[in-house]
Each structure stands twice: as structure tokens, then as C-alpha cells.
């Protein structure tokens, strides 16, 4: 039997990366803040695509919502945006993983929490 493999489009990659990131955070994320905000770029790309009405991302909206719900449970809210100047609706930039000693220390040091 011959399996046909297709390449994922950008939108599918972003959603898969986001789901993987949320899983990694749930298992104990121990990277530095630079890596963390870089890893969150997949969620930023998803958001921009949603705001632009990208049908490829809209088809996967249930997957994104499930990952969002899980991520919200894993984050300690911060007093300010940890990356850039995004509004609070970009919740992923308004929190750090509760169970990441590295990022919680960074948040305390910067008076984010």
C-alpha cells in the first residue's frame, strides 16, 4: 500500500506548532523568556490570520480554541505585556507558564507578577 503524504500549508503548521507548544508548556517549559516569546510566534501568526479572515485557519478554529483554553489554564497572568505592546486579547503575551521556574523568576524580577 502506498501512502500519500502531503505537505502541510503554513496555517496547518502554525496550528500544529501551537498545539505542540501548549503540550510542552503543560509538561514543564524551562526555556528563557526570549525562547518563550519566540515559540509563541505561531499563536501570533494564527491571530493575524484570523483577523484577516484566512479561511485555512478558520477551518481549524476548534483546535485553536481547545489549545487556547488549555494555555489559559497554564499561565500566570502578568501585570503587563511580556512582549511588545499587544492588547490583553492577545492573552498569550499577558502571562507566563505557572510551572516554569525560569519564567516565573523572570516575571518576578521584572515585576510582571
Percentage of residues of the chain with pLDDT beyond 90: 84
pLDDT confidence band for 7 (50 / 70 / 90): low
Domain count, the chain: 1
Is residue 4 a part of any domain in this protein?
no
Cβ-proximal residues to 38 (8 Å cutoff; 6+ apart), any chain: none
- DSSP secondary structure string for all residues of the chain: -PPPP-PPPHHHHHHHHHHHHHHHHHTT----HHHHHHHTHHHHHHHHHHHTT-HHHHHTHHHHHHHHHHHHHHEEE-SS-SSTT--TTSGGGSEEETT-HHHHHHHHHTT--
Report whether 23 contacts 71 (CB < 8 A): no
Mean confidence (pLDDT) of the chain? 92
Query: Mind listing the pLDDT tens digit for each residue in 72-94?
Result: 999 999 999 999 999 999 999 99
Give domain status of residue 56, yes or no. yes
Q: Which pLDDT does position 40 carry in this prediction?
A: 97
33 domain-assigned: yes
Does residue 27 lie in a domain region? yes
Three cell numbers at 53? 479572515
Instruction: Please indicate, yes or no, if residue 42 is contained in any of the structural domains.
Output: yes
In a domain, 5, yes or no: no
Number of residues that this document lists for the chain: 113
Q: If pLDDT is split at 50, 70 and 90, which confidence band does 62 have? A: very high
Closest of 71, 69, 95 to residue 82, by C-alpha? 95
**What is the structure's pLDDT at 5?**
47
* pLDDT for 68 beyond 50: yes
Give the global pTM: 0.89
**What's the domain range around 38?**
10-109
Instruction: Let me know if residue 97 belongs to a domain.
Output: yes
Amino acid at each position: 500500500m502506498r501512502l500519500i503524504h502531503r505537505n502541510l500549508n503554513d496555517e496547518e503548521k502554525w496550528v500544529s506548532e501551537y498545539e505542540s507548544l501548549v503540550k510542552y508548556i503543560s509538561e514543564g517549559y524551562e526555556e528563557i523568556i526570549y525562547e518563550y516569546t519566540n515559540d509563541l510566534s505561531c499563536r501570533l501568526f494564527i491571530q493575524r490570520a484570523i483577523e484577516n479572515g484566512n479561511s485555512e485557519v478558520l477551518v481549524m478554529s476548534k483546535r485553536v480554541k481547545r489549545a487556547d483554553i488549555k494555555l489559559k489554564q497554564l499561565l500566570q497572568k502578568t501585570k503587563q505585556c511580556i512582549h511588545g505592546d499587544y492588547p490583553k486579547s492577545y492573552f498569550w503575551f499577558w502571562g507566563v507558564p505557572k510551572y516554569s521556574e525560569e519564567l516565573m523568576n523572570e516575571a518576578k524580577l521584572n515585576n510582571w507578577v
